[in-house]
A and B are shown apart, each in its own frame.
Chain A
Amino acid sequence: MTLKIALTKGRTEKQVLPLLAQAGMDVEPIRNKGRRLIFNDDPKYHTILAKGPDVLTYLNRGAMDIGIVGSDILDEQRNPQYDMLDLRTGRCRFVLASTANFDPGQTRRKIIATKYPNITQDYFATIGEDVEIIKIEGSVELAPLVGLADAIVDIVETGTTLRENHLQVFAELRPVSTHLVVNRLALKQKQVEIQTLIQNLQKAIQED
């Protein structure tokens, strides 16, 4: 049976393709994709390229069997499907960051800007703090610089963007990496194919 894979396009796609190739998939059509978003030449694997949050939407509706997506999106969207494998690529981390004069101990209720309100809420709940969250769609670093928020919760890979904007890390929240997620019913319907792919990927991860 054909496995239907939704792959997060962009950086995740580039980082994961070598692993998928090692696991036996022909990824050349995706490497030379041009403007294509759907790849169904290989009878074993049909692949689509989609934005991270949409990967989960396709998966939840059963339109796709497997999703390859960052754990930031899985956590933020409260993913209900099987999060089966950490592919150990796309590694970065969630941090609390702000300008140098930010006081984490301030008594006033903090205002936090983020693209990830659920993850932000989870973090402050674990340290027993209640904060106001402002949802920002991109370039979150701007928020503390222009006084919209006291601090931000965002993903950091190397820290360059933070440094360029004169922001510092005040707390490390949780690590992020790319995961392989499987639709619950698809795992039953295509057990052999999915198990083979996962075992091949596990080998590929260990060899890396």
Chain B
Amino acid sequence: MSKRNLPVGTRDEFGPETERKTQLTQLLQERFTQQGFHPIKTPVMEYRAVFDAMAPTPENAYQFLEETGETLVLRPDLTLPIARVMSTTGITPPTKWCYTGDVFRIKKRHSGGYNQITQSGVEIIGYQGLKAEWECLLLAAGICTELKLADVTIELSDASFVDTVLAQLPLANQDALKHALFNKDLTAYEQLLKHLPQSQLTAFLAAWPWLFGPADEVLAKLPDEPTIQASVADLRKTVAFLEANCPSLHLTIDLSSQSPQPYYTGLVFHGYRPDANDYLFSGGRYDRLLSSFQQTRQPAVGFSFDLDALAATLPQSPAVVPTLIYFTDTQWAQAQALAAKTPNASLCLTDSLAAAKRQAQGVGANLIDLSQEDAQ
């Protein structure tokens, strides 16, 4: 490979998009710290075993060997390293963390995807109740409002719902039904249903792969079965909470999808826009998270924004005309002061006015010439 080539799936970032991304990163971190979240930074590389709780085991991670022969990976996830910190440092929960960092997931070669993605998010560790989920949801919704993102849909689901329903069914091969449901393989799903006896769940099961959409409609479609109704109690409360506190959001519920990682245990949520190709943010409750590192469970809720998706969905700001400030060696203080108060200004470091003029013309900039004042 030539030294002029980038590895497949990587890119250099600069220009307006990168400026947007940098501003977003700052804004998000500011909001998080204002709410009492503490910044945490973990290494870009970790032992592979840290990510054992991910599915599938990080086959799509960049892997290499430490000199001892131990396998290292570039982190494919930012939540598990924080779980590692919690279980090895003796920090007493409850704690609230916020972070920004890159995750690395190898996508199919030459498919147009990038392998290095920036995430910015929070983790709330040590709170059992729904208040932790709600703080995350309000934070995410608040940031979308602040960014003037219209048409944001928040999709809620519950990681335990599918297993709760499956436990009600007289079914030997639950995994096959689950697989067909999660992959929305309607052909296989309908075949599997034929083996089930008629029950009060029959109509519900037939419609189950389509059990997503506007929150009220989905909740109304659930059967009057006490176990199933009990399992969506938190969802109902969260819908009511969001309707009261974020009336401009579209609220949907999905009760037929797989949770994003096997360590999720409760409420799961995503945010998206109608024209976006990726979720803007994702998160949920994962009380089993720390059990990958220690014996005891620890309640945890978190979410992160996909900064690349978020930056892509923001409207392009109109192009601004830059200003260049030409000055002499004795005018540094004056030039710096002027640059600080002039929008989109930067010091022009050429040694002659003629060169400064050429540069300004070349990039279409306004030129402020301080050197004339010096001469007077």
Contact = CB atoms under 8 A, between A and B. Distances in A.
B211 to A, nearest CB: 11
B111 A185 contact: no
B155 A86 contact: no
B183 A82 contact: yes
A182 interface: yes
A86 B279 contact: no
Contacts, number: 47
Nearest to A180: B186
A40 interface: no
24 contacts: A1-B274, A61-B111, A61-B113, A61-B277, A62-B277, A62-B278, A82-B183, A82-B185, A83-B184, A83-B185, A84-B185, A85-B186, A86-B187, A182-B184, A185-B272, A185-B277, A185-B278, A187-B184, A188-B254, A189-B274, A191-B210, A191-B213, A198-B186, A202-B186
3 smallest A-B Cβ distances: which pairs?
A: A62-B277, A82-B184, A86-B187
B276 interface: yes
Interface in A99-151: none
Interface of A: 1, 57, 60-62, 82-86, 182, 185, 187-189, 191, 195, 198, 202
Contact of A60 (B111, B187, B210): B111
A48 B167 CA distance: 43
Interface string B107-121: 010011100000000
Interface of B: 108, 111-113, 153, 155, 183-187, 210, 212-213, 252, 254, 272, 274, 276-279
Nearest to A62: B277
B277 A188 contact: no
Contacts of B254: 188
Most A CB atoms within 10 A — which of B108, B187, B212, B252? B187
Nearest to A86: B187
Contacts of B111: 57, 60-61
B113 A188 contact: no
A198 B186 CA distance: 10
Contacts of A82: 183-185
Given A57-B112, A61-B112, A84 B252 contact: no
Nearest to A82: B184
A191 B183 CA distance: 15
Contact of B155 (A1, A188, A195): A188
A60 B236 CA distance: 33
A185 B184 contact: no
Contacts of A202: 186
Contacts of A85: 186-187
Contacts of A195: 210
Contacts of A57: 111-112
Nearest to A1: B274
Contacts of B277: 61-62, 185
A202 B278 CA distance: 29
Contacts of A60: 108, 111-113
